[in-house]
Amino acid sequence: QKEVEQDPGPLSVPEGAIVSLNCTYSNSAFQYFMWYRQYSRKGPELLMYTYSSGNKEDGRFTAQVDKSSKYISLFIRDSQPSDSATYLCAMKVSGTYKYIFGTGTRLKVLA
Amino acid sequence: GAGVSQSPSNKVTEKGKDVELRCDPISGHTALYWYRQSLGQGLEFLIYFQGNSAPDKSGLPSDRFSAERTGGSVSTLTIQRTQQEDSAVYLCASSFSDEAFFGQGTRLTVV
């Protein structure tokens, strides 16, 4: 079993929809959780970062962490075609330096 | 520049040749990572540098791969006697605390 599981998609939604992207993990020591957006032929871009359970909001994006279920989510409200990209979750144990990445979910927002 | 800079952005090389990939991290970032991203795969950790400490080379896939970081700043990843399975995107990231910032990557194609 991988330490981090992420559905590869592709996930296709109409413009304006609410998108939910998810990752599950097995290591209860993970404390730092990140979401990256990666456009085709570009490097990953850090979108959201959190280290606690609960929600963190930034504009149209909300990151949610449920440590009891070992489950994290990224919600995108009012999705736009420009949100079409691959979304990678990443996590890390406190005091360590290795990031463990999901394989990414490919999102397509249709105009 | 403000971000992580990688060069070249694309590299096509013949099987058996050596290649050098360069990474210029964000100024002031003490940690530097190299990752490899193959089509449909997640990010594979290669090597980690932190300040003047000995690097963590545990992710290097074979002894054909090596990396150095000069003066705590620029890093070079060298692949000797390239093989077709080395074809991938090589990503560099730098970090000061818990968040890692990536460059645009070098797309390596071995023909």
Are the CB atoms for A19 and A76 separated by under 8 Å?
yes
Q: How remote is the C-alpha of B86 from its chain's centroid? A: 12
**pLDDT tier at A2, thresholds 50, 70, 90:** confident
Calculate how close chain A gets to B18, using CA atoms only, in Å.
23
How confident is the prediction along chain B (111 residues), in pLDDT tens digits per residue? Answer: 589 999 999 999 999 999 999 999 999 999 999 999 998 778 999 999 998 889 999 999 999 999 999 887 999 999 999 999 999 999 999 999 888 999 999 999 999
- Closest residue in A to B38 (Cα) is A103
| pLDDT value of position B107 | 97
CB atoms near residue B99 (< 10 Å): 14
DSSP codes, chain B: --S-EEE-SEEEE-TT--EEEEEE--TT--EEEEEEE-TT--EEEEEEEETTSPPB-TT--STTEEEEEGGGS-EEEEE-S--GGG-EEEEEEEESSS-EEE---EEEEE-
Domain range list for chain A: 4-110
In a domain, B47, yes or no: yes
| pLDDT value of position B1 | 53
What the block records as the tokens of B79 is 């692949």
Closest CA to A19 of A59, A65, A75, A60: A75
Phi, psi of A62 (to 5 degrees): -130, 125
Looking only at the bridges linking them, the beta strands covering B43-50 and A11-14 are: unpaired
A47 touches chain B (CB under 8 A): no
Tell me which of B44, B97, B98, B109 to substitute to probe the interface with A (most A C-beta atoms closer than 10 Å). Answer: B98
Task: Print the domain residue range for B85.
Answer: 5-105
| pLDDT value of position B2 | 80
DSSP codes, B61-79: -STTEEEEEGGGS-EEEEE
Q: Which residues contact A83 (CB under 8 A, 6 or more apart)?
A: A19, A37, A76, A107, A109
Q: Any idea which fold A4-110 has?
A: Immunoglobulin-like (2.60.40)
A101 touches chain B (CB under 8 A): yes
The mean pLDDT of chain A is: 94
| pLDDT value of position A9 | 87
pLDDT tens column, A4-32? 999 888 999 999 999 999 999 999 999 99
CATH number of the domain within which B62 lies: 2.60.40.10
| pLDDT value of position B42 | 82
| pLDDT value of position B77 | 98
Q: How many domains does chain B have?
A: 1
Task: Using DSSP, state whether A99 is helix, strand or coil.
Answer: coil
Over 90: is that where the pLDDT of A1 sits? no
